[in-house]
Structure 1
Amino acid sequence: MPPPGTPPQFLHARKLSDYEVELSWQPPLEANSDILYYIVRVWNETTDLQQNVTKTSVVINVDSESRYNASVSSWTRLGDGGVLIYISFTTTDAEPFDPPQNVTVVNTDASSVTLMWYPPTEPNGIIVHYTIYYSFNNTVTEKTVPVSDLYSHTSPDSRLSYTLTGLIGGNNYTFWMASSTVQGDGGVHSEPLILLLPEDAAPLSASRRTSRAPCLSRTAKPSRGLLPWAQTLTHIRPLTSTHSSCRSLCFFSVLCLPTPFFFLLFLEDLTP
């Protein structure tokens, strides 16, 4: 006879409305055969509901403001695969038992950060908003994000995301989160995330800026027999539109100095 399988995992309840609760769970880690269906049982002092389902979630109708118990078992062709220890839940809104799950940073630049997370596993009611806290320079700021803004393009069980803007690059920030029902956040927060934002692009330094080369002009005709670099340049004028005659491009090497120097000179055309 094959050994019995392990029970389903991670059963939790999520209130959808005053009269509806969603139960969800994960399949067993080990099953003695293919799972044919699950048996979900929900009961309280006055009612007892049992339902067969083939998926790993089910929506049940409940009375408002009541406490319930729930259990799930998996069934194969060989029989019962094991019963999950039941959980208790209430349809009355309360504070969440746990914070947003798996909060991570997925994108960042010098002035913004995008956070991603999953809803709490035990919200104890309907989550109405999330709060993102972030601290910088001994100042804590909080951003309230309504659930209606997050679920517009996704399902309630999907991974959620939000982008914070207006941050200052080159500084350390600490981020953490909480989720709230109408009763509050229960004082439970996610683990803090510490992040160094990248700096803004550095401005171009003066040494790398492009500038116009000066136009060097002569004040006298060159003396016969003197090399060009031996002539005395007595005046330097900036290159303007009035000096369009600076067309000749010459390279000269000053060999008489300890280290050769090269000068790029724009010279007026010389006339005899």
Structure 2
Amino acid sequence: MPYVKWTMGLVELTKEEEMPLGRNVLEVTNIRESANYTCVAISSLGMIEATAQVTVKALPKPPTSLTVTETTATSVTLTWDSGNPEPISYYMIQYRAKSLDNGFQEVEGVATTRYSIGGLSPYSEYEFRVMAVNNIGRGPPSDPVETRTGEQAPSSPPLHVQARMLSASTMLVQWEAPEEPNGQIRGYRVYYSSDMTAPLSAWQKHNTDDSSLTTISGLTPDITYSLRVLGFTSVGDGPPSDILQVKTQQGGEHSTTQ
């Protein structure tokens, strides 16, 4: 029967005087790093050995160099470096709108180190982070990156449009900003016409800055005008408000609005 001993790499684990005959069980505890364990059998006939590899696997490290490479009004493209020497299964992206107190939304199973996330709100601040996932589990997140999506034309009209006559030929028009400006409102356009059936392009136009009231003068007394107001960003015009009708009056009397 041979004597049997264990080594870890070049380190002898079995004391010379304690080598048992025929069978030797090695119990390894508190493993911190990968290592090769070799079982050696020695007899008068010679020596034979067999090696087992113990591999320590860990969660992946956080990805590095997370960067926003492109933004549109509704999408953001991210790139990053793996940050891991070992291969990983896939990446997971987490993102959230800064204005909302919601948790992160997640995109699972991203196979590349570049990804575009769509369906975002225009002109909004978002925070993004990426995690690597291997067969052990999900690693810690990367450093976050923040960006603002691009502008779009407004998607809703100005609110609470009101008008009243200051004189027989001058009208004061007031409104409030749209609920969905989708960017920075650069100004408003008041359309007005005595023929509400005409296409909007044929109505008279009065442009204003980003304030929420204006006066329109040079109106004809004693007729009914139709009014509509829209806001615009640097990208384009939003939808016009519903028609508001105002009647100018003879002489200098003031009229009230509908």
State if a TM-score over 0.5 links the two structures: no
TM-score w.r.t. length of structure 2 = 0.40
TM-score w.r.t. length of structure 1 = 0.38
